[in-house]
Amino acid sequence: MAAARAVHLVGLRRAFAVVSNMAYILDQLGVPATLYFGAGTLHSGRSIFPARCFSP
């Protein structure tokens, strides 16, 4: 992660709380991070769904 230009974070279901805190901490440290979520919003620009990520 230290050599990455940006960190992409995905938090689904119970992992969302952990990943959102990780995104906050990375932001405070100045590390470019993008949090992808699917938490009941109408705007799906940054939403990610399990079927898209983990389909064979």
Nearest-angstrom CA–CA distance, 22 and 16: 10
Q: Give CA 47 to chain center in angstroms.
A: 9
Q: Give me the pLDDT at residue 13, please.
A: 76
The whole model's pTM is what? 0.63
Instruction: Return the top range by mean pLDDT from 6-10, 17-21, 44-48.
Output: 17-21
Q: Are 35 and 20 in contact (CB under 8 A)?
A: yes
Q: Give me the pLDDT at residue 22, please.
A: 93
* Interval 22-55: pLDDT, tens: 999 999 999 888 888 765 555 555 555 555 554 4
Is the pLDDT score of 21 beyond 90? yes
Q: Give CA 16 to chain center in angstroms.
A: 8
Distances (CA, A) of 7 to 23, 29, 41, 48, 56: 9, 12, 22, 15, 24
